[in-house]
Amino acid sequence: MLNFTYYAPTQIVFGKGTEKQTGQLVKAQNCKKVLVHFGGKSAKESGLLDSVYDSLKENGIDFVSLGGVKPNPVLSLVEKGIELCKAEKVDFILAVGGGSVIDSAKAIGYGMTNDFPVWDIYSRKNAPKACLPIGAVLTIAAAGSEMSDSSVITNDKTLEKRGFSSNYCRLKFAIMNPELTFSLGQWQTQSGATDIIMHTLERWFTAKGQESSEMVDYIAAGLVKTVMHNAPVLLGNPRDYNARAEIMWASSLSHNGLTGPFGNGDWAVHQIEHELGGMFDVTHGAGLAAVWATWARYVYKENVERFVKMGTDIFDMKKPSKGDEEKTALEAIAKMEAFFKSVNMPISIKELGLDLSDAQCEQLAVNCTWQGTRTVGAVKKLGKAELTEIYKKAR
Amino acid sequence: MLNFTYYAPTQIVFGKGTEKQTGQLVKAQNCKKVLVHFGGKSAKESGLLDSVYDSLKENGIDFVSLGGVKPNPVLSLVEKGIELCKAEKVDFILAVGGGSVIDSAKAIGYGMTNDFPVWDIYSRKNAPKACLPIGAVLTIAAAGSEMSDSSVITNDKTLEKRGFSSNYCRLKFAIMNPELTFSLGQWQTQSGATDIIMHTLERWFTAKGQESSEMVDYIAAGLVKTVMHNAPVLLGNPRDYNARAEIMWASSLSHNGLTGPFGNGDWAVHQIEHELGGMFDVTHGAGLAAVWATWARYVYKENVERFVKMGTDIFDMKKPSKGDEEKTALEAIAKMEAFFKSVNMPISIKELGLDLSDAQCEQLAVNCTWQGTRTVGAVKKLGKAELTEIYKKAR
């Protein structure tokens, strides 16, 4: 087994009615003033925001609020948040929403505690040394940002979408009531499920010859199976509490390090999607589904073993006879693609409603390699030429 | 899914050579004086203790030490530790050892931060409000105390062995180098593996009708399979790094809440063993193996479903036809018992080298019910009469 570090200090308060504990949990943080950060009308109309405000007031907690976070959260709102927090002397951020709101909160937290422009962190010009403490009331099971060390921000001037990871931004607590996800539409629900699966698969695939771990693989395979079993249940009944709960807990475990603590995963699909999301405002999970199988068929020969293991461990396929490994790998890829299709996810960029030109594919590839300064991926290292090909094949 | 809280904030630094990071990790805790707490000669003779001291010195950290912790750690040494820490103004405890050393450190930590006798906590007379911060260099994969909220102390005056759980004692960090477990003998190694399996099984079994979770069951079953696959490898080659590593990571995950966060497990076997351990100084894991199958056969009819699920999920048995559930449950119990036997664990109290009289069985049952003030277990609630029967049957 490879060396690793694992650190997931977030306190999870999971289940029905748990949002009523918000004030109490914030109070335990000994903060003076809170920013309540949220998205749009759904948090207001559902009554969740009022319920959170009430809980804060009952506990005598002073707060200001800032709404307006959209999917693919943007730098301009982050900067607005930092300004507001400075003016109001905020020392704790409460994110009420999904991954976008939490990521925006993380970026504001960085901006409040480091004396350089916050985009410098995401563009790798400067490294943060701290982050404001953050808590969350989660309303979407998808990004896993509630337990992860990462955040992704889109620079709305340059249309670059960039992620950054550090332990400083790990949440103090996350309140997770699956009922709060009942009202999500099918598109958001299934995009979320896809994102969860992908957080585990991106860790599953590594460069050929890297050791895996039996314990970690059991957790990873079990997690993907759990999501694949419960996501279709929600197609029929979006208010199935148990299916919502299984997926919500899987969302956190998928991105807290547990399903792959070794830091040797292949994040190419996320990075390929990030550029689509930056340029076209694509729903993240749907974007992942749209490109995954193309990526998999492009790279699988470089590490057939792990694709075969996906087949045996996740799809309960038989171990192939010698010589049949590639066939099994391709079948496993087809099964995963068929699953995405079965939950109404796109399996091509066209199905995302985009009609990419060759020039756009090239531009996306250039952006994805940060103007040719890096390759992405681990199974196969992908440069501009390979990425252009993948964008074209995935169209 | 039932509501739950999950909180496992310990930073894990896992792998070869990681003990060299001790000083650096302690330094990050901003403490003034450290107690290095350890067991006996193995930590000294292996050179580990010197290596830890060197790392502390290199980082300019002031420390005192206290060795002498034995399996089933005793109150008298805890009290000595508290006295020493008060005299030396210790503000951080570094446990170098296994579960016994960590548990002893936790008890010292409680004693340092609460103004009543520390045994009051374990005897439920008083609740702690804090604990000194603690870190560990782990040398045995077994108790999972490095990530758990629990500790177990034996009062060497009254021979009572009592556990107590609270988040206050969660470790700040745990350094886990599987190589440090190479020198463990077979008895300790397999007792450790048994303890790890039991931490998951005790959460697996609940009162009939309690909901389980698909995600949690996948993790739990995967963990038990991982240990059952790797423990026999160590019978042949105690220096197999990978087997040691799989078991070591499983030990932490088995007792940090992940394999059963709902707080509705059945800890009867642990409690039955605790009394044996308190009275006779039995190796904890071996004691668990000695009584588990007797307990299982005594209670399985009360929740046949979970015993069947142990069969299907852990032993890959076929789902029984209607009417065959009890048969499958008994087969699953026999398979688990056979596994313990296969790794040279005792499957009766006699095989622990003890020849219990009827009166001793009754006394153990009285102790286990805290002089008749409680029942133990969840599948079936066990009072004095039932426990006496189990001790007798397990002889």
Mean pLDDT of B237-258: 97
B226/A223 Cβ within 8 A: no
For A228, residues 6+ apart whose C-beta sits below 8 A from its C-beta are A197, A314, A339
B213/A218 Cβ within 8 A: no
Confidence at residue B45, expressed as pLDDT on a 0 to 100 scale: 84
Confidence at residue B244, expressed as pLDDT on a 0 to 100 scale: 98
User: How close is the nearest chain A Cα to the Cα of B16, in Å?
Assistant: 7
Going by pLDDT thresholds of 50, 70 and 90, the confidence category of residue B17 is very high
A6/B12 Cβ within 8 A: yes
From the CB of residue B322, how many other CB atoms can be counted at a distance below 10 Å?
5
Query: Which phi and psi angles does B355 have, rounded to 5°?
Result: -120, 90
Residues 210-229 of A with CB under 8 A from B: 211, 213-216, 218-219, 221-223, 225-226, 229
A8 in reach of chain B (CB within 8 A): yes
Residues 154-193 of A with CB under 8 A from B: 178
User: How close is the nearest chain B Cα to the Cα of A155, in Å?
Assistant: 33
* Predicted TM-score of the model (pTM): 0.96
Chain centre to alpha carbon of residue B245: 17
B18/A242 Cβ within 8 A: no
Rounded to an integer, what distance in angstroms lies between the CA atom of residue B392 and that of residue A237?
52
- Is B255 in contact with B148 (CB distance < 8 Å)? yes
Chain A residues in contact with B249 (beta carbon < 8 A) = 1, 213, 215-216
Pairing of strands A92-97, A134-138: parallel
Residues 109-128 of B with CB under 8 A from A: none
User: How close is the nearest chain A Cα to the Cα of B242, in Å?
Assistant: 6
For A265, residues 6+ apart whose C-beta sits below 8 A from its C-beta are A202, A203, A204, A205, A206, A378
Number of helices (H), then strands (E), belonging to chain A: the values are 15, 8
B11/A4 Cβ within 8 A: no
Question: For residue B7, what is the DSSP state?
Answer: E
Confidence at residue A329, expressed as pLDDT on a 0 to 100 scale: 98
ipTM above 0.85, yes or no: yes
- Is A251 in contact with A14 (CB distance < 8 Å)? no
Mind listing the pLDDT tens digit of every residue in chain A (395 residues)?
999 999 999 999 999 999 999 999 999 999 999 999 999 878 888 899 999 999 999 999 999 999 999 988 999 999 999 999 999 999 999 999 999 999 999 999 999 999 999 999 999 999 999 999 999 999 999 999 999 999 999 999 988 888 999 999 999 999 999 999 999 999 999 999 999 999 999 999 999 999 999 999 999 999 999 999 999 999 999 999 999 999 999 999 999 999 999 999 999 999 999 999 888 889 999 999 999 999 999 999 999 999 999 999 999 999 999 999 999 999 999 999 999 999 999 999 999 999 999 999 999 999 999 999 999 999 999 999 999 999 999 99
Of the candidates B176, B105, B114, B166, the residue with the CA atom closest to the CA atom of residue B134: B105
Q: Is B51 exposed, middle or buried (0-12, 13-18, 19+ CB in 10 A)?
A: middle
What are the tens digits of pLDDT across the range B37-67?
Answer: 999 888 888 899 999 999 999 999 999 999 9
Q: Is A250 left (phi over 0), alpha (psi -120 to 50) or beta?
A: alpha
B329 in reach of chain A (CB within 8 A): no
What are the tens digits of pLDDT across the range B345-362?
Answer: 999 999 999 999 999 999
A1/B245 Cβ within 8 A: yes
Pairing of strands B4-14, A4-14: antiparallel
A387 in reach of chain B (CB within 8 A): no
Chain centre to alpha carbon of residue A324: 34
What are the tens digits of pLDDT across the range A246-272?
Answer: 999 999 999 999 999 999 999 999 999
Confidence at residue A357, expressed as pLDDT on a 0 to 100 scale: 97
